[in-house]
Amino acid sequence: MSINNPLTKNIEKGRAPFTFAEYKAAGGYQSFANAIKMAPRDVMGQVKDAGLGGRGGAGFNTGLKWSFSPDPDGLPRYLVVNADEMEPGTFKDRLLMESDPHLLIEGMITASYAIQATTGYIFLRGEYTVAEENLLKAIAEAYDNGMLGKNIQGSDFSLDIYLHTSAGRYICGEETALINALEGKRANPRFKPPFPQVSGLWGRPTLVNNVETICNIPGILTYGVDWFKGLGLGDECGTRISGVSGRVKNPGCWEMPVGTTFRTLLEDYAGGMQDGYELKAFLPGGGSTDFLMPEHLDLPMIPGEVAKAGSRLGTSLIMVLDDKTCPVGTVRNLIKFFAHESCGWCTPCRDGLPWVEHILNKMEEGKGEMKDIEILKEMCGYMGPGNTFCALAPGAAEPLQSSLKYFMDEYESHVKHGCSYKSH
Amino acid sequence: MASITIDGKVFEVDEKNNLLQECLSHAMDLPYFCWHPSMGSVGSCRQCAVVEYANEEDQKGRLVMACMTEPREGARYSIAAAAKFRAQAIESIMINHPHDCPVCEEGGECHLQDMTVMSGHTYRRYDGKKKTHNNQYLGPFINHEMNRCITCYRCVRYYKDYAGGTDFGPQASHDNTYFGRWQEGPLESEFSGNLVEVCPTGVFTDKPFSKHYSRKWDLQSSPSICTGCSVGCNTNPGERYGTLRRIVNRFNDEVNGYFLCDKGRFGAEYVNSPERIPVSMTRDSHNSDPVQIEPALAKDALKKAAKGAVAIGSPRASMEANYALRELVGEENFYAGISANELGMLNKIIDIYQNKPVNVASVKDIEGSDAVLILGEDLTNTAARLALGVRQSAKNLGRQMGADLNFPIWHDAAIRQLAMDKLSPLYILSPHTTRLDDIAHTSHISSAENSAKIGMAIAHAIDASAPAVEGLNKEEQALALEIAETLKSAKQALIISGTSSLEPALLDAASNIATALHSGNSKANLALVCSESNSMGLALMMQGSGKSIDEAMSAGAKTAIVLENDLYRRAASAKVDAFINSLDQLVVLDHLKNRTGEQANLVLAAATFAESSGTFVNYEGRAQHYYSTFKPDSNIRSSALWLSDKHFNEITADCAAAIANCAAILELTPGENYNFAGLKVPRQHHRYSGRTSMRANINVHEPKQEQDEDGVMVYSMEGVPAIKDAAVLNSPWVPGWNSNQSIFKFQEFAGGPLKQGSKGQRLIANNSTEKTWYEAGTSDFSAEGYKVFPVYHLFGSEELSAYTPAIQEKATSAYVSLSPEDAEKLGLKASDGVQVEHNGAVPFVVRKAIQPGTVGVSVGLKGLNFQDMSAAIALDKAAEWKNPDLWRAANIIVSDKREERVD
Ligand SMILES: Cc1cc2nc3c(=O)[nH]c(=O)nc-3n(C[C@H](O)[C@H](O)[C@H](O)COP(=O)(O)O)c2cc1C
Ligand code: SF4
Ligand code: SF4
Ligand code: SF4
Ligand code: FES
């Protein structure tokens, strides 16, 4: 019961991931044996009580999300693991899948039992070839050892898992676009309602969860709800993987108690800023979150607190903006990415983002005009939450709107004098 | 019903509709792009945004798309509060738009223009480069100008989701999304033309129309009926300077709804054909050169000829023209102008419609059916609009699945995603594969007689009092039981058959099945397809008599008057030759040159549908009136007026009075004396240009306003246009809504039936509840040679549309279809031709699913006369063969299951 790093306990830099036997020897594949003794709804209840929030970006209570699926009707239903991980600056799922694939598979088995899924899919970012290799190996091992397939461990429960490698678009990470992509259709999101829990993959009840979310399931069902709750700081539950990219001394990602502050992450784990660079601002959880400022470093990394500061925790992998990098150029790069990754379904995103990109290009080239700043401001509202078909465009607008809030002087000086940063 | 508040006003709305639809229904102008009444909502364009308030206290509300919102009792919305967002949406939609309205053919009837103005976007702020795209060659019907695209996805939702097309779709993504084919080439769907109307911009425009383009407001137009087949889709032709420029859809919620087939849309330009008969002519003998004759003299000559003449009517001429001919020669001398077999089948259809306990199915009924059996009719090629209707019926299972989960009916994407490939059952019995195979549960290959037997077995399995049949194999017995079960358990079953198979027993079987399904108050839907635009009307005119063309030709008369009919399409050439040679005088009224007219001693230049008025009766027995679109040259008259001295209305009235079941044809128009505040209905738009100048080269004085045959419309821009409750609605328009979308202003609710209710009149009343049966036939077919079955082509088989250049491009020369076994037996290589008994040689195609020993022979295509075929024929490899120039194998799409054809 002394485990305090359930997600990364089996991970050691430079060592190959655990085989089935090694993973089992280290206490793995216990959770299913525990879960199968309970009714599926009770397993769901445990996950809900554990207070596990989704790690895919929105942070919604996982057990609660599961509970919205209708009762099983004997027909197929699906668990889909969202391993698309294309959010700029985010690389936590990759660590988990490359270094301890059995953890994800164990989580999928137990989660599938809870929601009574008959088939599991892993929708994997196409570039993650090492993860693909390791997962395929682990899946095969799990079949060989009776943890997948018909009547798992002599129970009534059967499950097949398929790995699907994405042809590659950011929007495939949006859960309903992911479902379309998995069905072989264009990766456009779907309108909700109906939610995937009711009509998802192949028109059947489906739950889509992030890799890290699912990786938390074995721990909860092995060591219990109270243990999980005890992992977090203060009222928080569990651990999560957070990380840093940008000009810090030691970029990377680490498992830490939920509730850890940005400062601890940045200074203790990442070793602080590189010499000669100062922290100017940071994106708290991927490219589609609002900038936070150095004064926000002491906030704990929990969704509610970050929201109060005007941003989102997102994936909790922070991107650091230093004082030698142009904020306008940074936003332009992000917008360029989002504009390119827009699925092209709805108007504000498809046609709004390229317009923003055009204006930011103008600014970087010293051709910006004051009226462009007004258009940028308008665009933020135009692409805001609720105005678009999915959350891509509102996310894309976040770094833009917060940079307009914090760095208006930079925008104005771009218009007046062009970009004064040499390095982009 | 629910009561909701919009901008402070209370409205009673139907919760089954979405909020956008309800706003439009209540005369509010809320802009939209992606929603379509027939295709539901997907919420992509974001143009229909409104604000929804959570409760009375909520001041801020939240933005929602009206098209994706179920109006709920007590809910509060504001259109005004979302005005800024909608302005932003249109502004960003337009950043890449070329703004080439002056040279764009959509201009003046462009939904994008209307919505841009309505949403308040008047000034371009975007100063970047616009995206550009390559355009594709999409065949003879449709232009492609992708730069005008606003990415509303309507085209793919129509083409793929609605019409089942497979060769067109969205490609790439973000602001580079592209709508086209995977490579250039003709669009394969037989319904591609609707893209012109579905696309709210000028991406897809009518290619034949481009060749002689005119703005919508410069087109003279009138309500009309398609002459392409027996469905009788409602059309709106447009004319300028004496030529027919185009056909667009005219909404009729029970028949064609919003959509036409490509033959209907692109097949009417025969009106302008160089093969038209421009003036009346005489010939001394059957093969001498013709001499022009003045109209007055021609009419005198016709009257003189009438005494003692046999008269041959036509299934493609109006009721009025047929009736006028009957009156001219007397009932006893009037013959139907179709083969005895076809007339017999039509008479049988009338008998079934009238006396069997069935519900005659309109297209709307077809769309509402949830289990369908097609007996021997290749719908896509013989009554295309019905095939599109059947495609919609297949989706009813999905709709039901959605309804079970409380999905609103308009939530199109959700229903499709839920249903996946689950379709309502469709069974097809046919001698060859068809274009509906992709949605068919089972497509069983069987000859027409055998299909009739299976049909009889189905009826017997449903109701044991229906006659049983013998001689089916095990597999077919099982199939019959399966179909019987399926039809019985359906909420609304539908049986479709028709005359194209030439097999009367199929009608017997269809009738027995539908009759067997009758129980309590429920009646099965039954649709029996005929061959031409007025086949049914002609049969009604015959009042059950069997006076066919065969009888006419053996009546021994010395003079024959032939109304709009090429006899060589009705009977074997040798017989027709002998008949014509036996005549002293052959009088022909027609609009296009053909083999019969070329031998006539007197030819009267007859008006086409576009230049005349009349009534057609469609396959359901629905009488529909068409108004002439423009006044023909003075040498050309409508056949009815050549044949009679009466006023047009009088002919209609006399026909209504004289012919059983036809009384209601008098109610199709508001009548000769119709006026509104003393004014008639104008054919021309109030923005029509050139009124005073377009004839100035002839005469500087404006001509007197001319009235049409019916007395209802005028060939003028003066009068009371069909704004709101007009009795006659030609080209819909209301202020601010210049495109075809304006039709909703004339509907009871957006997407609903027209307020003025001009749906036509069903002529055949049926209250029958009594089950009576047709006996199962006993004759087993046996003859030497390959058993012939007819193969129809949407493009080329029909007589009139085949004169149209765009249709010719999609057609091919005549050919035969063979099984692989028989092709091998005949030693055929791909480059060979097939020598057909009673005919020359033709090219061939090999189709896996054709039964050995049978041969499909094309009907109506150039190079072979189907009338010259016997029931079974000998085939041989042709000597010295070279494929004809008109042979276009690529135009033959035999099935959606492509692997079926062997190339
Ligand atoms: C544009 C876009 C991209 C997304 N990409 C991912 C992703 O790569 N991985 C992920 O887990 N969730 C992603 N999400 C969030 C998912 O839609 C979904 O909320 C998540 O997979 C739910 O899992 P959770 O409940 O376990 O957090 C994305 C959302 C959007 C709008
Ligand atoms: S916001 Fe709209 S265009 Fe952008 S990714 Fe989502 S659905 Fe596609
Ligand atoms: S081509 Fe027309 S219908 Fe298709 S997306 Fe573009 S604008 Fe819409
Ligand atoms: S289905 Fe028939 S009536 Fe309708 S448009 Fe086509 S050819 Fe004309
Ligand atoms: S019409 Fe409602 S979003 Fe397009």
Mind listing the pLDDT tens digit of every residue in chain A (424 residues)?
579 999 999 999 999 999 999 999 999 999 999 999 999 999 999 999 999 999 998 899 999 999 999 999 999 999 999 999 999 999 999 999 999 999 999 999 999 999 999 999 999 999 999 999 999 999 999 999 999 999 999 999 999 999 999 999 999 999 999 999 999 999 999 999 999 999 999 999 999 999 999 999 999 999 999 999 999 999 999 999 999 999 999 999 999 999 999 999 999 999 999 999 999 999 999 999 999 999 999 999 999 999 999 999 999 999 999 999 999 999 999 999 999 999 999 999 999 999 999 999 999 999 999 999 999 999 999 999 999 999 999 999 999 999 999 999 999 999 999 999 965 4
Burial B230-243 (b: 16+ CB within 10 A, else e): bbbbbbbbbbbeee
Domain contains B797: yes
> What is the reported pTM?
0.96
Do B657 and B567 fall within a single domain?
yes
Do B504 and B607 fall within a single domain?
no
- Measured in Å, residue B462 CA sits from the centre of ligand 4 at 33
Domain contains B822: yes
C-alpha radius of gyration, chain B, whole number: 28
Chain-centroid distance of CA B358 in Å reads 24
Out of B17, B36, B44, B52, mutate this one to test ligand 5's pocket (max ligand atoms within 8 Å of CB): namely B44
Out of B192, B227, B231, mutate this one to test ligand 4's pocket (max ligand atoms within 8 Å of CB): namely B231
Whether residue B62 and residue A386 make contact (CB cut-off 8 A), yes or no, is yes
Whether residue A344 and residue B172 make contact (CB cut-off 8 A), yes or no, is yes
Whether residue B417 and residue A371 make contact (CB cut-off 8 A), yes or no, is no
Whether residue A350 and residue B47 make contact (CB cut-off 8 A), yes or no, is no
Of B192, B95, B203, B87, the residue nearest B153 (C-alpha): B203
Of B382 and A2, the one with more pLDDT:
B382
Parse chain A into domains and list their residue ranges: 20-230, 244-322, 327-417
Q: Which of A199, A347, A352 is closest, CB to CB, to B417?
A: A199
E-assigned strands of B389-524?
A: 426-430, 442-445, 493-498
pLDDT at A111: 98
Burial B835-873 (b: 16+ CB within 10 A, else e): bbeebebbbbbbbbbbbeebbbbbbbbbbbbbbbbeebb
Q: Give the H or E element holding residue A133.
A: helix A129-144
Whether residue A190 and residue B177 make contact (CB cut-off 8 A), yes or no, is no
Q: Domain limits at B26?
A: 2-92
Helices assigned H by DSSP within A224-302: 225-231, 262-263
Which residues surround ligand 3 with Cβ inside 6 Å? B 149-155, 179, 199-201, 203
B699 vs B482: CA distance, rounded Å: 72
Chain A residues closer than 8 Å to B175 by CB: 339, 342, 344, 350-351, 354
pLDDT at B725: 53
Query: Mind listing the pLDDT tens digit for each residue in B843-855?
Result: 999 999 999 999 9
Of B854, B846, B851, B848, the residue nearest B827 (C-alpha): B846
In DSSP terms, which residues pair with B246 in a beta bridge? B238
Q: Would the pLDDT of B409 be above 90?
A: yes
Do B790 and B728 fall within a single domain?
no
Do B329 and B377 fall within a single domain?
no
3-state secondary structure B590-635: ECECCCCHHHCCEEEEECCHHHCCEEEECCCCEEEEECCCCCCCCC
Of B697 and B280, the one with more pLDDT:
B280
Name the class of domain A244-322: alpha beta
Domain contains B723: yes
Domain contains B287: no
In DSSP terms, which residues pair with A261 in a beta bridge? A300
> Domain boundary residue among B469, B500, B523?
B523
Query: Mind listing the pLDDT tens digit for each residue in B783-826?
Result: 789 999 999 999 999 999 999 999 999 999 999 999 999 999 99
Query: For residue A205, what is the nearest residue in chain B, using CA coordinates?
Result: B418
Name the class of domain A327-417: mainly alpha
Query: How many helices (H) and strands (E) would you count in chain A?
Result: 19, 8
Q: Which of B62, B85, B418 is closest, CB to CB, to A199?
A: B418
pLDDT at B781: 65
Evaluate whether A200 touches A119 at the Cβ level (below 8 Å): no
DSSP for B284-305, please give it. Answer: SSTTSPPEE--HHHHHHHHHHH
pLDDT at B900: 62
Domain contains B742: yes
Do B366 and B479 fall within a single domain?
yes
- Measured in Å, residue A88 CA sits from the centre of ligand 1 at 13
Percent of the residues in chain B that have a pLDDT greater than 90, as a whole number: 90
Evaluate whether A113 touches A101 at the Cβ level (below 8 Å): no
Of B159-173, B407-421, B690-704, least confident by mean pLDDT is B690-704
Do B102 and B87 fall within a single domain?
no
Do B847 and B895 fall within a single domain?
yes
Domain contains B277: no
Ligand with the closest atom to the CA of B86: 5
Structure tokens at B668: 């199709």
Of B650, B624, B641, the residue nearest B534 (C-alpha): B624
Structure tokens at B422: 């689950």
Residues 6+ apart with CB under 8 A from A410: A326, A327, A328, A403
Q: Would the pLDDT of B896 be above 80?
A: no
Q: Would the pLDDT of B897 be above 70?
A: no
Residues 6+ apart with CB under 8 A from B431: B376, B445, B446, B447, B448, B451, B501, B789, B850, B851, B854, B856
Residues 6+ apart with CB under 8 A from B664: B623, B656, B761, B762, B763
pLDDT at A424: 46
Do B504 and B544 fall within a single domain?
no
Structure tokens at B766: 């049926």
B77 vs B18: CA distance, rounded Å: 13
C-alpha radius of gyration, chain A, whole number: 22
**Ligand 5 pocket, B33 CB below 6 A?**
yes
Query: Mind listing the pLDDT tens digit for each residue in B226-245?
Result: 999 999 999 999 999 999 99
The whole-angstrom distance between A187's CA and the closest CA on chain B is 9
Ligand with the closest atom to the CA of B231: 4
Does the domain spanning A20-230 belong to CATH 3.40.50.11540? Answer: yes
A34 vs A258: CA distance, rounded Å: 25
Burial B15-27 (b: 16+ CB within 10 A, else e): bebbbbbbbbbee
A156 vs B350: CA distance, rounded Å: 62
- Measured in Å, residue B66 CA sits from the centre of ligand 2 at 18
B330 vs B764: CA distance, rounded Å: 25
Ligand with the closest atom to the CA of B535: 4
**Ligand 5 pocket, B65 CB below 6 A?**
yes
Mean pLDDT of chain A: 97
Mean pLDDT of chain B: 95
Do B84 and B20 fall within a single domain?
yes
How many domains in chain B?
5
Structure tokens at A191: 């309108």
Domain contains B670: yes
Structure tokens at A251: 């970029």
Q: Which of B85, B128, B177 is closest, CB to CB, to A387?
A: B85
**Ligand 1 pocket, A107 CB below 6 A?**
no
Count how many pairs of residues, chain A against chain B, have C-beta atoms within 8 Å: 106
Query: Mind listing the pLDDT tens digit for each residue in A220-274?
Result: 999 999 999 999 999 999 999 999 999 999 999 999 999 999 999 999 999 999 9
Q: Which of B68, B153, B173 is closest, CB to CB, to A191?
A: B68
Of B152 and B693, the one with more pLDDT:
B152
B442 vs A401: CA distance, rounded Å: 58
Structure tokens at B386: 């019905």
Structure tokens at B770: 């009594």
pLDDT at B547: 97
Evaluate whether B783 touches B871 at the Cβ level (below 8 Å): yes
**Ligand 2 pocket, A350 CB below 6 A?**
yes
Whether residue B45 and residue A190 make contact (CB cut-off 8 A), yes or no, is no
Of B336, B329, B341, the residue nearest B303 (C-alpha): B329
Do B720 and B833 fall within a single domain?
no
Query: Mind listing the pLDDT tens digit for each residue in B872-895?
Result: 999 999 999 999 999 999 999 877
Confidence band for B512, pLDDT divided at 50, 70 and 90: very high
- Measured in Å, residue B201 CA sits from the centre of ligand 3 at 7
Domain contains B771: no
Do B86 and B110 fall within a single domain?
no
Instruction: Specify the ligand 5 atom closest to the Cα of A346.
Output: 3
Do B541 and B600 fall within a single domain?
yes
Of B587, B634, B582, B581, the residue nearest B611 (C-alpha): B634
Q: Do you find a cis peptide bond into A385, omega within 30 degrees of 0? A: no
A222 vs A224: CA distance, rounded Å: 6
Q: What proportions of chain B, in percent to the nearest 5, are helix, strand and coil? A: 30, 20, 50
A200 vs A180: CA distance, rounded Å: 9
Of B896, B777, B857, the residue nearest B443 (C-alpha): B896
Whether residue B177 and residue A341 make contact (CB cut-off 8 A), yes or no, is no
Query: Mind listing the pLDDT tens digit for each residue in B737-746?
Result: 999 999 999 9
The packing angle between helices B396-404 and B412-419, to 10°, is 100
DSSP A295: G
DSSP B711: S
A44 vs A159: CA distance, rounded Å: 18
